[in-house]
Amino acid sequence: MLQEGDSFVLGYIQLMEGEKDPRNLRLAFSIVKELLASFPYEAHAQDLFEITSCYFPISFNSPPGADPRNAVAPEELRDALREILAGSVLFAPWTMALLFEKLGASSADVKVRI
């Protein structure tokens, strides 16, 4: 199982790379939370962190007039991403560095979204 789980995590990281659709990101973030809870991800912890942390902070806003049945609330994505970044003790050093980097940004908008 260890070998299969490790391969699955690596495959998922490759699959998620570059995703931009908020509906897909909502699903992708929920899958990452399951990966952290159910699969051996230690060998790919940094890659898993990087593939998710690149979305931080979430700057997505629902387009006006979006169909409410398919709409993704920005808060959903923000909350899910925060859970991931805080979801593993292995992520802690990278998460702290990311937070300090973003807090040092000159843009007040970035600081508000943190």
pLDDT tens column, 12-65: 999 999 999 999 999 999 999 999 999 999 999 999 999 999 999 888 887 787
Q: Is the dihedral of CA 87, 36, 43, 98 positive or negative?
A: negative
The predicted structure's pLDDT at residue 111: 53
Helix axis angle for 22-38 and 2-16, nearest 10°, is 160
Residue 93: cis peptide before it, omega within 30 degrees of 0: no
Cβ atoms of 52 and 32 closer than 8 Å: yes
Cβ atoms of 5 and 48 closer than 8 Å: no
Range(s) of the domain holding residue 102: 2-113
Number of domains in the chain: 1
